[in-house]
């Protein structure tokens, strides 16, 4: 997996889904754990430890990982019972996402060339302090 693509994809999806801080923290913590574990296909992590590391409640953890799953960023198989850990899988980015409107070119290149601020309403006197 390419870490840069994962991070770029997360922020692209975040522009559409508006993730909370807890959801963002959970996703990047899982990336950290996956990287530390040399990127296995599935990461096993106990819910109690995840709650302690992320400093969130169990209910917030469950809603955050469900929201990330709905967004297509990760998949998980919840643990249950005694000593059964939740399995997480970080999904590869999909290529069919819409580009952000911030990436479009909206500036007029002729507007800022050699104007020295004249077109922006500044009085240009030729001084270095304009």
| Parallel/antiparallel/unpaired status of strands 43-45 and 74-77 | unpaired
Token pair 């693509």: residue: 5
pLDDT at 117 over 60: no
Spans of all domains in the chain: 3-96
* Number of DSSP helices (H) and strands (E) in the chain, helices first: 5, 3
Q: What is the mean pLDDT of residues 89-112?
A: 63
Give CA–CA dist 130/118, Å, rounded: 10
How many Cα atoms within 13 Å fall on the side-chain side of residue 16?
15
Token pair 């692209």: residue: 12
Residue 94 has what DSSP assignment? P
pTM of the complete model? 0.70
Q: pLDDT tens for residues 72-99?
A: 999 999 987 668 899 999 998 876 655 5
CATH annotation of 3-96: 1.10.10.10
For 15, counting Cβ atoms within 10 Å of its Cβ (0-12 exposed, 13-18 middle, 19+ buried), the class is middle
Give CA–CA dist 36/32, Å, rounded: 6
Other beta carbons within 10 angstroms of residue 45's beta carbon come to: 18
């Amino acid at each position: 997996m390419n870490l840069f693509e994962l991070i770029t994809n997360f922020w692209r999806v975040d522009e559409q889904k508006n993730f909370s801080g807890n959801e963002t923290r959970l996703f990047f913590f899982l990336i950290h754990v996956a990287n530390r574990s040399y990127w296995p296909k599935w990461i096993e992590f106990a819910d109690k430890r995840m709650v302690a590391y992320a400093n969130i409640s169990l209910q917030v953890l469950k809603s955050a990982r469900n929201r990330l799953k709905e967004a297509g960023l990760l998949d998980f198989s919840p643990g249950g019972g005694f000593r059964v850990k939740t399995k997480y899988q970080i999904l590869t980015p999909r290529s069919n996402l819409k580009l952000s409107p911030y990436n479009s070119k909206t500036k007029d290149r002729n507007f800022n060339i050699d104007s020295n601020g004249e077109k922006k309403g500044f009085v240009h006197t030729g001084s270095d302090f304009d």
